[in-house]
Structure 1
Amino acid sequence: MFDYFFAQYKGYPLHEVYLELVAVFFGLWSVWCAKKDNIWVFPTGLVSTSIYAYLLWQWSLLGDSMINVYYFIMSIYGWYHWTRKKGDVDEFPVSVTTNKEKVMSVVIFILTLIFVIIVYLYFDKFTSWYSYVDTLLTAIFFVGMWLMAKRKIENWIFWIVGDLLSIPLYFAKGYTFTSFQYIVFTIIAVYGYLEWKKILNSSQNLELRQL
């Protein structure tokens, strides 16, 4: 059983195994903070995404590598966005997407898909089903990260779908630790959605009482 899950690591450079473990640890910490609507989601995410951007490029998962570069940039934006306040009140609390933001989400999805396809064609990397799944995942996660930075509850739906698709992808590629990470990500994302839903309902009820 151990060999089935971890035998592929025998051929990996030792530093990549250690880096993957560190990235997994900070990635799980980051998603847990996101679930709690905690600002630490961003600094922990910066550590994880910077490591994964390097590793995924080494593993020829170009789309996922670009996802993590994008995560890094959006984490900086989200960190700033979440800290903005009006007095003691968050200027941008948990909320639902507006119609304009839904349109923007579709635009981000389509443009990301086109961009990643061009990159894969340029580097001639459409060599297996991994590449096609990776392309789709990039678009899904780009939208999810943008919505999370905007503190929109729908971000969890994109994370759940993307995480579920990532589990078999990374396992099939031989990155067992990362595959296990996405199993945990999926579970946390479900609870994250439920917890943000409670936060949203609580804030809406408070607004109604103040009317």
Structure 2
Amino acid sequence: MSALSWLNSEAFTLLDQRIIWSDMIGNVIGLTALALGWRRSVWTWPAQFLSGIILFAAFAGHMTGSAGKQVVVMLVAAWGWWQWTHGRARAQDGTIAVRFATWRERGAMAGAALVGTLAVGGLFTAFPSLSWDAWPDAYIFVGTLVAMYAQARGMVEFWFAWLLVDLVGVPLNFANGYAFSGFVYVIYGALVLWGLRDWWLRSRRSAEPALEGAAA
């Protein structure tokens, strides 16, 4: 049996749902990546890249849109690694600077999400072989990209974007037979709320010295 065949073979059955190895391993690594992101560790990006490779193997040939999303995940993970090691997201003391996005940045991300979802959803609708669920798949595809962009820039809004992706990702994965992805998305939701609280508090602490300096 080849490595790819083994990855796409059944690991076990849970609550009458068939769990395949690639779905399970890829999502466990993805969950680890989210936890590393909460801790502001640069290793979140290699973990996301590896998760993307394994989940691509899970979705390729079945959910083309989700497989394509993993390619985007890998590309953005490489860019995010650069941002957290050399880019503007890194503070002078070497830590990752956490902040809220400006209203202009929020508008740009919301606009990009809307236009991107319409474009990708239209593509999936025109070519049904690309996706089983055109519009939900497009929503998750674009939402993941926006969330990872916000994470790479150290924006607290990264967590809000993941919450919005989870709202659609959980039922979509269960409906398409990727039960482990669905279960993990539920855990993602809990981690996202925890991470949101941590980044929110850190952004307030980071803003306080700047306010004190302005007052002086």
Q: Shorter-chain TM-score: what band?
A: 0.7 to 0.9
Residue 166 (1) aligns with residue 177 (2) = no
Match of 1:103 in 2: 107
| CA distance in structure 1 between the partners assigned to 2:160 and 2:48 by the alignment | 19
Write the letter of the residue equivalent to 1:65: A
Q: Over the residues paired in the alignment, what is the CA RMSD in angstroms?
A: 2.4
May I ask how many residue pairs the two structures share in their alignment? 200
| CA distance in structure 2 between the partners assigned to 1:3 and 1:112 by the alignment | 36
Over 3 Å counting, the alpha-carbon distance change for 1:78 and 1:127 in structure 2 is closer
Write the letter of the residue equivalent to 1:169: L
Residue 153 (1) aligns with residue 163 (2) = no
Render the CA deviation track for 1:129-160: whole Å, top value 9, x for unaligned: x3332122222222112111111101111101
Render the CA deviation track for 1:77-134: whole Å, top value 9, x for unaligned: 11111113565345x6111112332232133213322332243134324886x33321
TM-score with structure 1 setting the length: 0.83
| CA distance in structure 2 between the partners assigned to 1:44 and 1:4 by the alignment | 26
| CA distance in structure 2 between the partners assigned to 1:83 and 1:3 by the alignment | 41
Q: Could you tell which deviates more after superposition, 93-102 or 117-126?
A: 117-126
Runs of 5+ unmatched residues, structure 2: 1-11
Identify the structure with the greater helix proportion: 1
Match of 1:70 among 69, 72, 85: 72
Give matches, 1:11-90, under 5 Å: 17-60=20-63, 62-84=64-86, 85=90, 87-90=92-95
Match of 2:123 among 113, 119, 144: 119
TM-score with structure 2 setting the length: 0.81
Aligned-pair identity in percent equals 20
Match of 2:8 in 1: none
| CA distance in structure 2 between the partners assigned to 1:8 and 1:22 by the alignment | 14
| CA distance in structure 2 between the partners assigned to 1:159 and 1:74 by the alignment | 15
Runs of 5+ unmatched residues, structure 1: 10-16
Residue 185 (1) aligns with residue 195 (2) = no
CA shift, 1:165, in A, is 1.7
CA shift, 1:18, in A, is 2.0
Match of 1:144 among 128, 136, 147: 147
SS of structure 1 residue aligned to 2:190: helix
Over 3 Å counting, the alpha-carbon distance change for 1:4 and 1:52 in structure 2 is closer
Write the letter of the residue equivalent to 2:15: F
